[in-house]
A = this chain, B = another copy of it.
Amino acid sequence: MAIRLTDVANEAGVSLATASRVLNGSARKPAPEISDKVRAAAEKLGYFPNAQAQALARASTKLVGLVVRDIADPYFSTIARGVQRGLGDSGTQVLLASTDSDPTREIEAVRAFMSQRTDAIILSGSRGMSEDEQLLRLIESYQENGGQVVVIGQPLATTGGIQIDNAKTSENLAGELIRAGHRSFVVLSGDRNLLTSADRANGFLTKLKRTGLSAVDVIHGAFSREGAYMAMSDFLASHAAEISNQQLCVFCVSDVMALGALRAIRERGLRVPEDIAVVGFDDIPTLEDVIPSISTAHLPLEEIGRWAGEMVLSHGDARKMVVTGTPVLRESTEFFTRLP
């Protein structure tokens, strides 16, 4: 790559220092005439500051790393959009990494971001179990070196971020479903070691218990559309009898899983909500296009991302905020009474 600041300085007949001062904000303001000359030279030569060199000379890189599980998942892509919006025109660039739910890859991503000396790292798809000691240590050392960490989802002791109160949200959601008339629930949860999944499932079960109810069953699948599809298919195959007896309500710990379950239910020739009701969690944009409309717990995903971005900019004083989702009952959970 060519055209260095030195070239611009020469072209303008000034010193390197002066050129630097005019082309980038500096306390000392060069004379207007000089400034114009330098700017003209830069324009003429097509100068572009070398961000790497600047980063080296300054302290900051104006880079923030965003870790997601899968950028093609609407949950994460919506958050990603929010983050970019939150960063606005601050000139901060986003470095993206997808982990595919692989803890190893998550660590690699953080390592890579540390190498890039990103000013901040936004973790949005972390497992969140404290067992990830390696990750925790990594993050701590990043923080010790001045790195900022914003976590979306689980709180992480040493970091700020947007915590999602999954348990409470699920409790509220269960409450609404019960109020709507439902009594027979099945919980479709994700991987057992995914804190998000566990919290949502447990919150739901807690509310049931407190109301004197209990889940007909709690099943597990991968925290994905396919995982839910398979788990639901298995369940339907082995519980045909119970299903025809009553209107079950299946609580899926994420909308993406709800969509997988929905497909399994349909393939089985069952109707939603007449035969089986389905609820999700997250309120991803995709739901707008699904019929029947899917009940869920609404999370302001894009805003959450935006807040994360803004926290980064405001050099987030390790601020923590808590978001509780809002139950939204739609067609997929309309209650039907069965005649015996």
| Residues A141 and B46 in contact in the complex (CB < 8 Å), given A51-B115, A51-B116, A95-B93 | yes
Query: Which of A70-78, A159-167, A197-205 contacts its partner?
Result: A70-78
- Do the beta carbons of A289 and B290 come within 8 Å of each other? yes
Complex CA–CA separation, A98 to B84 (angstroms): 8
CB-CB contacts below 8 Å: A135-176 with B: 141, 145-147
Complex CA–CA separation, A147 to B145 (angstroms): 32
| Residues A52 and B49 in contact in the complex (CB < 8 Å), given A72-B77, A84-B96, A289-B262 | no
| Residues A71 and B84 in contact in the complex (CB < 8 Å), given A1-B117, A55-B52, A111-B48 | yes
- Do the beta carbons of A291 and B291 come within 8 Å of each other? yes
Pick 24 A–B contacts, CB within 8 A, sort by A: A1-B145, A1-B147, A46-B141, A51-B115, A51-B117, A52-B53, A52-B55, A52-B117, A53-B56, A70-B81, A71-B80, A71-B84, A72-B81, A72-B285, A73-B77, A74-B286, A80-B96, A93-B95, A94-B95, A95-B95, A96-B96, A263-B288, A263-B289, A290-B291
- Which A residues lie at the B interface, using CB under 8 A? 1-2, 46, 48-53, 55-56, 61, 66, 70-74, 77-78, 80-81, 84, 91, 93-98, 111-112, 114-117, 141, 145-147, 259, 262-263, 285-286, 288-291, 302
